[in-house]
Structure 1
Amino acid sequence: RGLSVDHSTIHRWVVHFSPQLLERFNRRKRCVTGKWHMDETYIKVRGEWMYLYRAIDSLGDTVEFLFSESRDLPAAKRFLRRVLDRHGRPDCIVIDGSQTNHQAVISSDAEDRLRDRSRRSLNSIRIRRSKYLNNRIEQDHRRIKRRIRSMLGFKSTASAEVILSGIEMVHMMRKRQARFADNPRPSIAEQFELTAA
């Protein structure tokens, strides 16, 4: 309030600081549960449809997200590899009827079990396929899409990726996914301040 700042300056700040803030926020993010809901949603970039892969856990917390130009098996596997590397193995993944996501889960699960160097036997990840069971993530997509709709699309894939990461971070802040020792229920402004400090 009381400042006169051009919207392009704010855009440059978002592009510059979003990745750094997201990295710091992820260090404070609380652990996710063992049941995940995975899906992708459409995002318009330069008039073409691209995809935002997302996963949430059974509590509705965001597990991970990945912006991709294509919706195919390599993109789904790249997303799952990233999720498994950062958060470990879930007990169950709920997906819609997508054959691509089903193949990606099976393939990534097999690779992850082969990579595991411990002597324990790992159970395979259970896959539940139903478009009705995945309503939870569809509702979560809606909150992200509502924010993007007013932006009238993106001009480049690079800026789309960075801005979407900022939008996802604010969405996680609204869900209070970060742990702060001094303040157990901080506002979004306080979370920004504590993350940036």
Structure 2
Amino acid sequence: MNIPSSMSRLKGFRCPREVIAYAIWAYHRFALSTADVEDLLAERGVIVSRETIRLWVNRFSAHFAACIRRDRPKPNDKWHLDEVVITIRGKKHWLWRAIDTDGDVLDILVRTRRNANAAKRFFKRWVAQFGEPRVVITDNLRSYIKPVSALAPQADHRAYKGLNNAIEVSHRLTWKWEKLFGRFNSHRQAQRCLSAHDQINLILGPRRYQLTATSYRHTRNDAFSLWAAYTAEMAA
């Protein structure tokens, strides 16, 4: 990816917006540390500290994730819902994740509890945004029963752990993140990082094994074009 400087500079930032966008792209696309991104930029003649890159990621990742949510097509009407435990400062938290049958992540929610209230808050967001699904697949957690029946009464709710293997694959992103960068320091950090990372990888990480080489190149070029357009929308 080239780093041109044709766009206007963000007010208050020394580096062009393309440099900031490139750093965020590399950080999320390859799950690199800020030190790794610092070295990539240095090789291109851009000298910034890893702390500066961390601030860029924290400030602008949400912008790219919001643009992707805004422009993404309506997801498939068959949803998989699941929750996995994560540890934050020695305390157990629950990461709730929803994907459609194509494996695209709708979004995530980090909560301290694994009960009906948490399940309702989680499920309600996606029904309000995308409408009622046709099929909802969950594990055997009983906390899903009332929220699904109340918010999507026409949906076919299938509660069986063996049917939910697709979302277990999606959880691997979280485990990979924790393996590379260690545990999250706060509830807010986990929500911010994972929510943005899942959405950004929808366009930056197409399933290569499902595509021919030509189709993959077209998909990759489309992703680069979208990223450039979202870069142009960045605001200080």
TM range (shorter): 0.7 to 0.9
5+ long unaligned stretches in structure 1:
111-123, 177-182
> CA, structure 1 residues 51+29, in 2 after alignment: closer, same or farther (shift >3 Å)?
same
Question: Is 1:6 aligned to residue 49 of structure 2?
Answer: yes
Q: Report the identity percentage.
A: 29
Deviations along 1:11-41, one digit per CA (max 9) or x if unpaired, are 2222211222211111111221111111012
> CA, structure 1 residues 166+64, in 2 after alignment: closer, same or farther (shift >3 Å)?
closer
Shift of 1:101: 1.8
How many residue pairs match? The answer is 178
Choose from 52, 61, 64 the match for 2:95: 52
Choose from 133, 152, 176 the match for 1:146: 176
C-alpha contact 1:34 1:57 (8 A) present in aligned 2: yes
TM-score (normalizing by structure 1): 0.81
1-structure distance, mates of 2:166, 2:94:
18
2-structure distance, mates of 1:4, 1:44:
35
Corresponding letter in the other structure for 1:128: R
Shift of 1:170: 2.7
Counterpart of 2:206 in structure 1 is 175
Shift of 1:169: 2.0
Deviations along 1:160-195, one digit per CA (max 9) or x if unpaired, are 21111221123222138xxxxxx9623555543232
Corresponding letter in the other structure for 1:139: V
Shift of 1:159: 1.9
Counterpart of 1:33 in structure 2 is 76
Counterpart of 2:231 in structure 1 is 196
1-structure distance, mates of 2:86, 2:229:
30
Greater Rg, structure 1 or structure 2? 2
Question: Is 1:92 aligned to residue 145 of structure 2?
Answer: no
Local SS of the residue matching 1:102: helix
1-structure distance, mates of 2:185, 2:195:
16
Counterpart of 2:60 in structure 1 is 17
5+ long unaligned stretches in structure 2:
1-40, 208-216
CA RMSD of aligned residues (A): 2.1
> CA, structure 1 residues 146+191, in 2 after alignment: closer, same or farther (shift >3 Å)?
farther
